[in-house]
Chain A
Amino acid sequence: MTGRRPTAEIAAAVVLAAAAIAVLPRVLELFALINATVYASMAVLALSLGLVWGFGGILCFGQAAFFGLGGYGYAVAALNVADTTWAVPIALAVPAAAAALLGYVMFYGRISDVYMGVITLTVTLILFNFTNSTAGDQWRIGAAPLGGFNGIPSTPPLNLPGDPGNPLPPERIFAVAVVCLAACYILGKLVLRSRFGRVVVAIRENERRAELLGYDVRRYKLGIFTLGGFMGGLAGLLFANCVFVSPTMFSLFYSGQIIIWVMVGGLGTLAGPIIGAVLLQALTTWAGTLPAVNPSLILGAVLVAAVLALPKGLLPTAAAALRRLRRRDAAP
């Protein structure tokens, strides 16, 4: 928590988002643009955990659950109500409500941190197994077949609000993803600047002291966890618009990957997880093109190297190096 106003960071986010929307669709080919949209959705997902873990102090191993629920929520709603204008709020409400319910059970049940990690991961894997077992025509919600292992490949893309006959092209979907990422970053900044955010950080620092000062820590933890669930769901919705939803969204691979993005980018920052997600996702994509190399192996090696060489993560390490350079330049 600093006394600095976040205006500069917010302005930078707006400028970067505007530049990305203006430039990238012109210079990238369609496949690369879709990949960039995937990166943006992953960045939103990383940001959601960065907020919950880095500032709320809640190590959630199951952020992928909200990601998957957002994706499935969108796909199912979009297939049932032809206009995606109504699918969006449904897709966001489902993971937020799931996070609120899960958070209520954990925080009001005074579950300890270790068990919280176990519970969140277990819930995610239950959802993974459940969605995997939904093959067959009997597994459908209205007009939407859940599709088992194959997921829902026929997810309709977002359309212009109120105009179902006008689906957005990939360039517009990319713009929506970038706007959502910038909006989530700005929302995170504003939340952390608010009284609620300051109390959340104080609770991370010392939960007992916060209680002794009269703060009901359960309420604050529930609030930040639900916000994280909402953002995770938004990431799932964006992902569903550029790839398709499948049980993989709930997988252990994703659950672990999100944690690695946040750790490598920098815990306790908002921009760090975004950087970590984009860099590592790009690395994973590149590694996937190499013959006889397992991308997970590379991701694991990067994590080990980052923990050993940059224990605070990329962004805090770079910021500290910059501060040292400035001090050295300022010295007579």
Chain B
Amino acid sequence: MTALLSTEELCMYFGGVRAVDRVNLAVAEGELRCLIGPNGAGKSTFFRCLTGQYRPTAGRIRWRGRDITGADSFAIARLGIGIKTQVPSLFEGLTVVESVILAQRRRHGEADARRRAMAVLERLGIAGLAARVVAQLAHGQRQLVELAMVVAPAPDLILLDEPTAGMSVEETGRAATLIRELNRAHALVVVEHDMQFIKAIASTVTVFHQGRVLVEDSVARVLADPRVHDVYLGRSIAMPGTEGG
């Protein structure tokens, strides 16, 4: 079966730095995939290649088998890929409901868009914020507003870059529940480095290290893997396909 999103030998180099190095990844329909790794592992650069922010140096990105390498962000979004950035990227001067309407109105008329926007806000538990101006919101609320904007057009796949960044323990717990719920309707790729959060959403995990995929397995096996412990502790390890550590 064709993967929803896949990469083939994807590379992103900055001069001599190989931020992403020959990464092969396939995300199936309805899957919840976590990309983890210590700081500098290349997961955020890989994410930016997927979202069109960076044009890969080499390799291919495919959406349902179609080559989308180097496509612009807006074209990638139009395919049915929702993108949530690490630092909430919002329309500061607009109200919450206006933002969500804008997020989905490519497909719906005004009245329908407003009704759908309110339904999305209710689903995320922030309907009470609908009339508030985005700039006035607290960080946790801003994260949820951005998520509402991402979910609003009903994308097939949602890419989340560190969705719990800056959240309290309680908010992180709620986010995990929310992500599991979102996974009932959308495939998700979550870039994260909070292991507790990864455990809470329990999925297939791809571990990045030095721009490459170190291991890809279930969360339980990944967490039991001594190599993963080593890279998180900053120990040098031998990468597959390379000589020495």
Chain A residues within CB distance 8 Å of chain B? 1, 3, 195, 198-199, 201-202, 205-206, 208-217
Contact = CB atoms under 8 A, between A and B. Distances in A.
B92 interface: yes
Interface in B34-83: 51, 72-74, 77-78, 83
B85 interface: yes
A198 B102 contact: yes
18 contacts: A195-B105, A198-B102, A199-B102, A202-B91, A202-B102, A205-B91, A206-B89, A209-B89, A209-B91, A211-B73, A211-B77, A212-B85, A213-B102, A213-B153, A214-B77, A214-B106, A214-B153, A216-B74
Nearest to B51: A212
Tell me whether chain A's interface is mostly helix, strand or loop, or mixed: helix
Contacts of A201: 93-94
Contacts of B153: 213-214
Which one of B72, B78, B93 has the greatest number of beta carbons of chain A within 10 Å? B93
B207 to A, nearest CB: 26
B190 interface: no
Interface residues of B, number: 22
B103 interface: yes
A1 B98 CA distance: 8
Contacts of B85: 208, 212
Given A199-B102, A202-B102, A214 B90 contact: no
A196 to B, nearest CB: 11
Contacts of B102: 198-199, 202, 210, 213
B149 interface: yes
Contacts of B92: 205-206
A216 to B, nearest CB: 5
Nearest to A207: B89
A210 B83 CA distance: 11
A200 B79 CA distance: 22
Interface string B85-114: 100011111100011001101100000000
B89 A208 contact: yes
Contacts of A195: 105
Contacts of B106: 213-214
A5 to B, nearest CB: 12
Contacts of A206: 89-92
